[in-house]
């Protein structure tokens, strides 16, 4: 059997990369032959790739430079289908298929809300015209939430229904097992203060600056601690804000950790402070660990996941006052029963997502 190929820029610790790894795991368990084609084989998630997956390193440096080597891969290997992730990589994949002259079935996956992300990145404004030109030629387009799918159709002027929704594979036995691992951190010892947890890249999108401001307001009324797991370009700026607000003793930024789930299981509440998302994996992961969640009502995903506030409060984007109030309420009255959160997270199981993707890849 010819393999199904995945194409990504690299395997740094982002949500799209985590989704791709989870899909690879789920398909590998079904004995599907798989190739993972990377513009550059770099990043902490490399060690999570299943052993049965053949990895192809194009060693291109940048995604755009991967176009010719990806075209050569398609021509020489002729995979059953190519599943490409993230807008700029999708554009390169579509161009590479055209150059290869093959009939490889190509499915493009969009992980973020295009309209929200466009205003933040120069690259995004450059890529959008190519998306409008090339996306209609994809055999299928997937949005990871209904909000992402609808927004993409509107932004690229695609026919209604052209973009299908497949929720991400998030919850499996391995995640639940990791959640039960011990946490050797002084803040999680018995009878310690409440701990708020956030996980994500230290970037503009995740808006941890608003979370830090909200925590500073919270600290004026109650005692607690804030732990932000992740690494990124805004670390110096965030550390400076923490120092200026006088909360350095109660805020920790330990960097990227391979197992955030044990922290989620023990945290008082998980907070997603993002300005935009596609389908925030970490929010679902926290729920699967039984952790109460608080989220901004950002486009797109949180409202769908939390069913408009049924499974956790939604707050306006970039509003530290509103966020601090909900944080205070979460300590006084935990918002949702933990078992209900775990049950809801099963809507985003590996099994459902893998079956849905295989259905469109093997047509």
Distance CA 121, CA 248 (A): 31
Would you say 211 and 236 are in contact if contact means Cβ atoms under 8 Å apart?
A: no
Backbone angles phi, psi at 150, to 5 degrees: -65, -45
Distance CA 304, CA 138 (A): 26
DSSP 8-class letter at 116 = H
Distance CA 45, CA 49 (A): 7
Domain with CATH 3.40.50.2000 in the chain: 4-166, 173-347
Distance CA 255, CA 200 (A): 10
Would you say 184 and 215 are in contact if contact means Cβ atoms under 8 Å apart?
A: no
pLDDT at 120 over 50: no
pLDDT at 195 over 60: yes
HEC secondary structure over 184-199: CCHHHCCCCCCEEEEE
Kindly state the helix (H) or strand (E) to which residue 143 belongs, with its residue range.
strand 140-143
Would you say 7 and 85 are in contact if contact means Cβ atoms under 8 Å apart?
A: yes
What fold, for 4-166?
Rossmann fold (3.40.50)
Match domain 173-347 to its CATH number in 3.50.50.60, 3.30.930.10, 3.40.190.10, 3.40.50.2000: 3.40.50.2000
Dihedral angle sign, alpha carbons of residues 15, 18, 24, 27: negative
Q: What is the pLDDT of residues 218-243, one digit of tens each?
A: 999 999 999 999 999 999 999 999 99
Q: Which two tokens stand for residue 39?
A: 């513009």
Instruction: Please name the residue that has the structure tokens 């009502």.
Output: 297
Q: What is the pLDDT of residues 342-363, one digit of tens each?
A: 999 999 999 999 999 999 999 8
Q: What is the pLDDT of residues 29-83, one digit of tens each?
A: 999 999 999 999 999 999 999 999 999 999 998 899 999 999 999 999 999 999 9
If pLDDT is split at 50, 70 and 90, which confidence band does 249 have? very high
Contacts of 243 (CB under 8 A, 6+ apart): none
Instruction: Find the helix packing angle between 338-345 and 281-288, rounded to 10°.
Output: 130
Region 98-105 average pLDDT:
96
pLDDT at 337 over 90: no
Distance of CA 335 to the CA centre of its chain: 24
Would you say 349 and 171 are in contact if contact means Cβ atoms under 8 Å apart?
A: yes
| Torsion (CA) 294, 298, 303, 309 in degrees, nearest 10 | 40
If pLDDT is split at 50, 70 and 90, which confidence band does 335 have? low
């Amino acid at each position: 059997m010819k393999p199904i190929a995945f194409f990504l820029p690299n395997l740094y610790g982002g949500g799209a990369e985590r989704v791709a790894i989870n899909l690879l795991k789920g398909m590998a368990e079904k004995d599907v032959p798989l190739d993972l084609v990377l513009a550059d084989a770099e990043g902490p998630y490399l060690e999570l790739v299943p052993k049965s997956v053949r990895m192809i390193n194009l060693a291109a440096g940048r995604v755009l430079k991967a176009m010719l080597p990806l075209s050569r891969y398609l021509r020489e290997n002729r995979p059953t289908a190519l599943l490409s992730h993230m807008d700029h990589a999708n554009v390169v994949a579509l161009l590479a298929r055209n150059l290869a002259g093959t009939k490889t079935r190509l499915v493009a996956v969009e992980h973020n809300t295009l309209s929200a992300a466009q205003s933040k990145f120069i690259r995004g404004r450059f890529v959008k015209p190519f998306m409008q030109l090339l996306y209609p030629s994809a055999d299928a387009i997937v949005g990871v939430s209904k909000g992402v799918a609808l927004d993409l159709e509107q932004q690229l002027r695609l026919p209604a229904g052209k973009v299908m929704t497949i929720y991400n594979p998030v919850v499996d036995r391995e995640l639940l097992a990791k959640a039960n691992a011990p946490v050797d951190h002084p803040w999680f010892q018995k009878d310690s203060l409440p701990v708020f947890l956030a996980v994500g890249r230290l970037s503009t999108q995740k808006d941890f600056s608003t979370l830090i401001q909200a925590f500073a307001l919270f600290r004026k009324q109650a005692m607690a601690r804030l732990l932000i797991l992740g690494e990124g370009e805004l670390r110096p700026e965030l550390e400076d804000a923490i120092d200026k607000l006088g909360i350095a003793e109660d805020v920790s930024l330990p960097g990227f950790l391979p197992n955030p789930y044990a922290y989620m299981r023990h945290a008082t509440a998980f907070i997603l402070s993002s300005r935009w998302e596609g389908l925030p994996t970490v929010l679902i992961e926290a729920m699967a660990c039984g952790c109460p969640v608080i989220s901004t009502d950002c486009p797109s995903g949180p409202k769908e996941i939390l069913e408009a506030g049924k499974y956790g409060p939604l707050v306006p984007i970039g509003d530290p006052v509103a966020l601090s109030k909900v944080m205070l309420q979460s300590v006084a009255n935990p918002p949702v029963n933990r078992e209900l959160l775990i049950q809801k997270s099963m809507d985003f199981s590996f099994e459902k997502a893998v079956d849905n993707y295989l259905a469109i890849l093997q047509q």
